[in-house]
Structure 1
Amino acid sequence: SGGTSGLSVGHVSPEAAARGELALLRTGDCIEIDIPGRKINAALSDNEFNKRKKEEKLKGNRAYKPEARNRNISSSLKAYAATVSSADLGAIRDI
C-alpha cells in the first residue's frame, strides 16, 4: 500500500479477536520476528500461555475483552463502528 517502509506487522487483530494466542500477550512481553521465515513468535513458555488462558477463562463473559475505560466517543464514530467491516475485509461500510 505504500503506507510504511521497513518492517511492518499488520492485520493481527483478527487472531486476538478469535481468542488466539495473540490475545494473551501483554505489554512488555518479548516477541521474536523471523523476517526470512515470515514468522512471529512470543518468547513465552507453554506454562505461561496456559496460565494466561486459565486466567482469561476465570473472567467468564469478560474473558478476552479489553479492560473497561472511560472514553468519549462521538455519535458519528458510533454510527461508523456499527456499520464498518474489519480491516481484513477492507474496512468498508456495510449498510
Structure 2
Amino acid sequence: MNAGNSVVSGNILYRCAGPNCGILKRDNDRWWLMWTSFAQFDRPVLYLCAWDEKIAQEEGTLHVCGELCAQKLQSQFMGNIRESQMRRLTAESVAPNGD
C-alpha cells in the first residue's frame, strides 16, 4: 500500500497509517509494520512486526509510528471482521432457503 504511505529511508518517504496520525518517519524512529493476509489460514489475519525495510516496501504494508496507532489499526481490523460476520449472519437469516 505505497499510495498514501510516505520519512526518509534512502529516498523513500513513509507516513504513519494510523487513524488521524500521518506523521513522517525519520531515520532513527522505531516504527512497526502491519499487514493483513487471507491466504495461509483461509480467514483474515493481522500481522505486526518491527520495522524491516524490505517488508516496508511490500504492497499492502501499513507503516505505523508506535503502539497507539498500532492499537487503533488493530481495533479497526477487529471491528471490520465482526461487522462482516454480522452482515453475513443477517443475510443468511433473511435469504430464502429454496425449499
Which band: TM-score by shorter chain? under 0.3
Higher helix share: 1
**TM-score, scaled to structure 2:** 0.25
**TM-score, scaled to structure 1:** 0.26
Higher strand share: 2
Instruction: Pick 1 or 2: higher relative contact order, CA cutoff 8 A, min separation 6.
Output: 2
